Amino acid sequence: MCLAIPAKVLTVNGQEALITVQGVQRTANLMLLEETVAPGDYVLLHAGFAIRKWTAAEAQEQELLLAEVGYTHRD
């Protein structure tokens, strides 16, 4: 239950962002996030809240993250 999942930010509207996670779009609340986010950034999502940001470049460094968002699985 304490698992958060990576999600890609599509649009930002004040304290909320539209995100896509595992192919599904939903809103994420940004009130817990210390950083500002822009479309294309990635966030770690937990129970409807973004709790950590990665820029697209940082996310790319972590193949893991992109793999998870893109639905492919590797071990």
Partner 1 sequence: MSAKLQEIQNLLAQIGRPVQLMEVCGTHTMAIFRTGLRSLMPPSLRLLSGPGCPVCVTHDSFLEHALAIATQPNTLVATFGDMLRVPGRSGSLEAARAKGANVQVVYSPLDALAMARQHPDLRVVFLGIGFETTAPTTAGALVAAARDGVKNFSVLSAHKTMPNALSALLTSGEVKIDGFLMPGHVSVITGTSIYEPVARIFKRPAVVTGFEAGEILAGVEMTLRMIAEGRAEVGNAYAHTVTAEGNVKARALLAEVFEPCDDAWRGLGVIPGSGLKIRAAFAAHDAARHFPAPKVDVPETSRGCRCGDVLRGAITPPQCPLFRNVCTPWSPQGACMVSGEGTCAAYFRFS
The CB-of-33 to partner 1 minimum distance in angstroms stands at 7
The DSSP-derived string for 2-25 is ---EEEEEEEEETTEEEEEETTEE
CB nearer to partner 1: pick between 39 and 53: 53
CB nearer to partner 1: pick between 11 and 27: 27
Q: List residues binding partner 1 (CB under 8 A).
A: 1-4, 29, 31-34, 44, 46-49, 51-52, 58, 61-62, 64, 75
